[in-house]
Chains A and B, each alone.
Chain A
Amino acid sequence: MSVLLIAEHDNKTLKPFTLNAISAASKIDAEVHVLVAGSGCESVAKEAAIIPLVKKVLYCDSHNYQNYLPENLAPLVTKNADKYDHIVASANTFGKNFMPRVAAALDTSQVSDVIKVNSPDTFVRPIYAGNAFATVKSNDKKRCVTIRPTSFEPAPKTGGTAQVEKVDAADVPNFSKFIKREETKSERPELGTARIVVSGGRGLESGENFKLITDIADKLNAAVGASRAAVDAGYISNDHQVGQTGKVVVPDLYIAVGISGAIQHLAGMKESKIIVAINKDGEAPIFSIADYGLEADLFKALPEFLSELNKLNTIQK
């Protein structure tokens, strides 16, 4: 009985959500093994080996895994799946992309986007954009599970001494090719892991006006989010989108500005610890889930908000 967790990384360091996935995996079974597949990624294998919850690291180095093409990665996972009852990865665009290929190859029905592990075969997962929670029991012998990273605490990073075992690469089909990745560079914290998120919606009325949001975000060392309406209107790029079709965030503080609170947006942020809503429409649905609501014109409220923040002696980082 053990779990094979597929690590997400950039060939240099582990992606933060891998730590959340490891902690979820450890709730399924204490024997957590991590597969680090990549190109020139020995430092990642070493980083995984000192995570106390990790009992063993499988390390596979090949240029075929440099960009985690699912057509290449899935056969490697499948080949190493024999000894494991569970194959686990994050339910982000990394895990969502390759895991169903593994499940199909193993003829097992995948359980996606788990937010709670009840037992090794029973899980809770959101359906209908988080408007219902389903408790499901997997009757497969081998289980492929993706976990929603923000529903689990990150595992501690250091103190462990797991053995690193090299594994051979698998055959690759050679019918897909990576061309390029355009990562949105930002000095601000990453949206998925930020402690504070400041989001703007259609109420901002233009891309230029998002400066009101970014000014506050910079003052609070926060990430910048947006509603789908703001993204579709072209105010801001889609990697900022919070919601069912964007990112799910669970920050300590979520500030929604000029966002009415469509179901699809709420699905991405309603688990935040503290929610603030600033909206001129007092009837906006966002107020029904906000801890603190301010019914005001955002074009007046945001500059005031910034000047009030400037008056504070200290701001938590």
Chain B
Amino acid sequence: MKILVAVKRVIDYNVQIRVKEDGSGVHTDNVKMSTNPPDDNATEESVKLKESGKVKEVVAVTIGEEKAQETVRKALAVGADRGIHVKADSYIEPLGIAKILKKVVEKEKPDMVFLGKQAIDDDCNQTGQMLAAMLNWPQATFSSKVSLKDKSMEIVREIDEGLETIEVNLPAVVTCDLRLNEPRYASLPNIMKAKKKPIEQMAAKDLGVDIANRVQQLKVEEPPKRKAGIKVANVAELVSKLKNEAKVI
């Protein structure tokens, strides 16, 4: 079996983002970038399935500017076999990304596509579901446990009420929750080896899909700041404030 795993380059999750003064977006120059965290879980799970012997090949794909390739290299360094970089210079909405991924799926014919459940920049949580719909495949979102069978997968999903178990036939799209696994670190020798693994390049605009954005970003602003309140001296004062000042208990 074969897995396609999609990885996205985003501002590192530890960076406190700064909104641009002109409201056009957030500062990305000289800001540390890394792979979207749940995409690392998607890569890890793909590699684990390969190590279990059930999966023969893991192909990592990214869509974005030149430097987005770093995310593919990272996936190659932890065990993916080869990479695909679909070049795109500007932001593409999940709808357009899903259309591009569909093209890649048609070419690569994987049995499963693994993605992170959500990107931590635009927080859309759409791409995996859209791709599944476009392919007319089943989906397993927010996956925290994956059991691969011969022609299907049993998946435990994280839902608001607790946990849900479903079974989806292959081929299928899986979006990964942070609790699915513990992504490994790449060892130095593997990082060196990954440099020799092939990354195929193509341009988004050559794929023959409509990737024009439909949602216009009018402005980006800082959320209203919450002011720090007061420090209380002891528990008795705290309870008294909550009872008599805030009137919440």
Give the interface of A toward B (CB within 8 A).
Answer: 69-71, 74, 92-94, 96-105, 107-113, 122, 125-140, 173, 175-184, 192, 196, 220, 232, 237-239, 244-245, 247, 252-253, 263-264, 270, 273-276, 282, 287-296, 301, 304-305, 308-309, 312, 315-316
Contacts and interface: CB of A to CB of B under 8 A. Distances in A.
A297 B243 CA distance: 22
Contacts of B168: 175-177
A65 to B, nearest CB: 15
Tell me which of B160, B216, B236 has the highest count of chain A C-beta atoms within 10 A of its own C-beta: B160
B243 A263 contact: no
Contacts of B230: 291-293
A120 to B, nearest CB: 14
A253 B226 contact: no
Contact of A104 (B125, B133, B157): B133
Interface string B207-241: 00000011111111111001011111011101101
B154 A179 contact: yes
Contacts of B127: 100
B46 interface: no
A134 B248 contact: no
Contacts of B189: none
Contact of B248 (A100, A109, A182, A273): A273
A128 B133 contact: no
> DSSP class of A's interface residues: helix, strand, loop or mixed?
mixed
A131 B248 contact: no
B160 A192 contact: yes
A316 B242 CA distance: 11
B219 A135 contact: yes
Contacts of B178: 245
Contacts of A133: 220-223
Interface of B: 11, 13, 16-17, 19, 26, 93-95, 98, 120-134, 136-139, 141-142, 144, 154, 157-169, 172, 177-179, 213-223, 226, 228-232, 234-236, 238-239, 241-243, 246, 248-249
Nearest to B16: A263
B160 A94 contact: yes
Contacts of A309: 239, 249
Contacts of B133: 74, 100-102, 104-105
Contacts of B130: 100-101, 103-104, 110
Given A126-B123, A126-B223, A316 B248 contact: yes
B17 A131 contact: yes
A161 to B, nearest CB: 31
Contacts of B246: 253, 274, 291-292
B167 A179 contact: yes
Contacts of B144: 238
B173 to A, nearest CB: 10
Contact of A301 (B131, B235, B249): B235
Nearest to A179: B165
Tell me which of A103, A192, A232, A275 has the highest count of chain B C-beta atoms within 10 A of its own C-beta: A103
8 contacts: A70-B129, A100-B128, A129-B120, A192-B160, A196-B248, A273-B248, A292-B242, A305-B238
Contacts of A247: 160
Contact of A315 (B128, B217, B249): B249
Nearest to A291: B229
Nearest to B121: A128
Given A74-B133, A290-B229, A294-B231, A127 B121 contact: yes
A305 B159 contact: no
Given A182-B163, A182-B165, 12 more contacts: A93-B158, A101-B132, A104-B131, A122-B218, A177-B168, A182-B162, A245-B177, A292-B231, A294-B235, A294-B238, A304-B235, A316-B249
A315 B167 CA distance: 47
Contacts of A180: 164-165
A178 B238 contact: no
Contacts of A138: 214-216
A132 B26 contact: yes
A289 B229 CA distance: 7
B166 A177 contact: yes
A140 B231 contact: no
B218 A135 contact: yes
Tell me which of A74, A244, A294 has the highest count of chain B C-beta atoms within 10 A of its own C-beta: A294
